Amino acid sequence: MVDKSAFLGYTLTREACEFCEGNGSMVEKHSKVQLASQIAVGDIIPPKQNHSAEMGTDKITSLLIRFSMPATFAMAVMASYNIVDTIFVGRLGGEAIAALSISFPIQMLFGALAVGTGIGAGSFISRSLGAGRYRDAVSAAGQSIILSILFGLFAAIAGLIFLEPLLVLFGTTPEIMAPTKEYMSIIIGGAGLIMLIMILNHVVRAEGNAILPMKVMVISAVTNIILDPVFIFTLGMGIRGAAVATILAKIVGVVMLLSYFYGRKSSLKVRLAHLRPCGRIILDIYRVGLPSLLNQVAINVSLVIVNRILGDLYGYAPIAVMGLLVRFQMFAFMPVIGIAQGVLPIVGFNFGAKKMERIGEAVFKGSVAATVLVTAAGIALYLFPEFFLRFFTGEDELIKVGMDAVRIMVLTYPLIGMHTMAVVFFQGIGKGTTSLFLALMRQFILYIPFILLMPRYYGLTGFWLATPLADLLSFIVVILLVSREFNRHGILLIRWPRSCCRIFP
């Protein structure tokens, strides 16, 4: 008869053997074998690879800096890339900027699938690691990879077949059809790469590694910035060259992420067996992630409605202005999103570990930091709108319309930080439906009625007023829902622990 312990020891991974051999004085032989077997089959994480345990023990301020700073820096670089990309394309004329504005919500449809899958998987992985369910966590990482590949293939095939009708549906006018079609024919072909890089970044952050997603986003963005002028101007490809540069940059990022997962650096050891669909995990991913997906779709619908109305009533110039406003907003909100990405795994892990006080501290400090940063950006845009607009265009008509629009739309920027942290809080505790509702309140449920109503009384100015009005009313709802949920879990909302009042250590 084969000795069970000998057989088990023979089949252990290298990490398991090293761990057992280095702890002989701490545990008995039977316990070592049992622990090693758990590591070998993936029930627990070897101590040297456990990036996540610190989320339940380290100081919240330190964790926020460690997780949010890389994400914020990476987001700032990505925002800079979007701005530089628009500057290059803007040299081709106002029609080219309008083409990017039309293309943006289509790309966001790809992003909607990616964000929904990534946030759902990230929340599931963080909660699983917090509760000690490593096998579920690594399986969720595998599900994320196969889902992103399948969605990418579907989006590419469907987009290539129905490209022109899709562009018309999204508000493309005859004078900008040609440049929009040139750009999107390339972007749609690389939809899978765009989705894969977004999803895997969420997964990596969920295991407690905030540095790699930053490196991936920075390197991808810098690659794009370098390639843009080469393909647009040097090779004379125009707006098509901007799309080619984007896809090549995404290839670089995807290679980095896949190398991480299939190498020896990740604590989530994804293998081919983990790519086999698991209905239970997929359902849990989309229980949390579907609201985020639907939220992104709702944003796209809002942009399509706005673009179509603006195109029908005012021509391509306001469409171009809206495209610039979206990019300003992306730049201003990037620190908020970066902080939110740092808060999400902290909330998810500590909710799984039943450490409610740490959740409240993370949400509070994240809200304060996000509010300070986004308010500063709003003040700069309000005081110097012409300065920022002239980076993208020299057309007087666009600048005139844009100055009024910018000064109106930044009025409620100080409310965005707390709103975003509230959305992330509900995602982290697994309440995707509430998270969706809060996001839709601001970007769809209130925004669309204001978009349809306000122009009747205030003309073009009514379009710009719709955003701050929706922000203000949705902020009131955020305060009510977060207060109720905090009370339910015994999290202090007003009387914060003394440590929470120190934003910096």
More confidently predicted of 375 and 174: 375
Count each helix (H run) and each strand (E run) in the chain, helices first: 20, 0
pTM score: 0.65
Rounded Cα gap, residues 219 and 217, in angstroms: 6
pLDDT computed for residue 368 by the predictor: 94
pLDDT computed for residue 52 by the predictor: 55
- Quick one: average pLDDT of 66-82? 76
Lowest mean pLDDT among 28-37, 248-257, 367-376, 388-397: 28-37
In this structure, the number of other CB atoms found within 10 A of the CB of residue 3 comes to: 9
Q: How confident is the model at residue 369 (pLDDT cuts 50, 70, 90)?
A: very high
Whether the pLDDT of residue 232 is over 80: the answer is yes
| Rounded alpha-carbon distances, angstroms, from residue 502 to 60, 360, 494, 499 | 11, 14, 15, 6
Report residue 32 as tokens.
Answer: 């070592």
Please give the distance of CA 367 from its chain centroid, rounded to a whole number: 17
Domain ranges of the chain: 4-41, 47-501
More confidently predicted of 265 and 342: 342
Report residue 423 as tokens.
Answer: 């959305």
Q: Contact 56/199 with Cβ under 8 angstroms? A: no
Rounded Cα gap, residues 309 and 463, in angstroms: 10
Amino acid identity of 197?
Answer: I
Nearest to 296 by CA among 85, 70, 485, 115: 115
253 secondary structure, DSSP code? H
Q: Can you say whether the dihedral through the CA atoms of 399, 400, 406, 407 is positive or negative?
A: positive
Whether the pLDDT of residue 58 is over 50: the answer is yes
Nearest to 364 by CA among 484, 481, 496: 496
Q: Contact 134/41 with Cβ under 8 angstroms? A: no
pLDDT tens digits for range 411-424: 999 999 999 999 99
- Quick one: average pLDDT of 234-242? 93
Nearest to 219 by CA among 175, 250, 173: 250
Please give the distance of CA 153 from its chain centroid, rounded to a whole number: 21
Rounded Cα gap, residues 301 and 448, in angstroms: 9
Residue 277 Rama label (left phi>0; alpha psi -120 to 50; beta): beta
pLDDT computed for residue 14 by the predictor: 36
pLDDT computed for residue 466 by the predictor: 93
pLDDT computed for residue 197 by the predictor: 92
Whether the pLDDT of residue 311 is over 70: the answer is yes
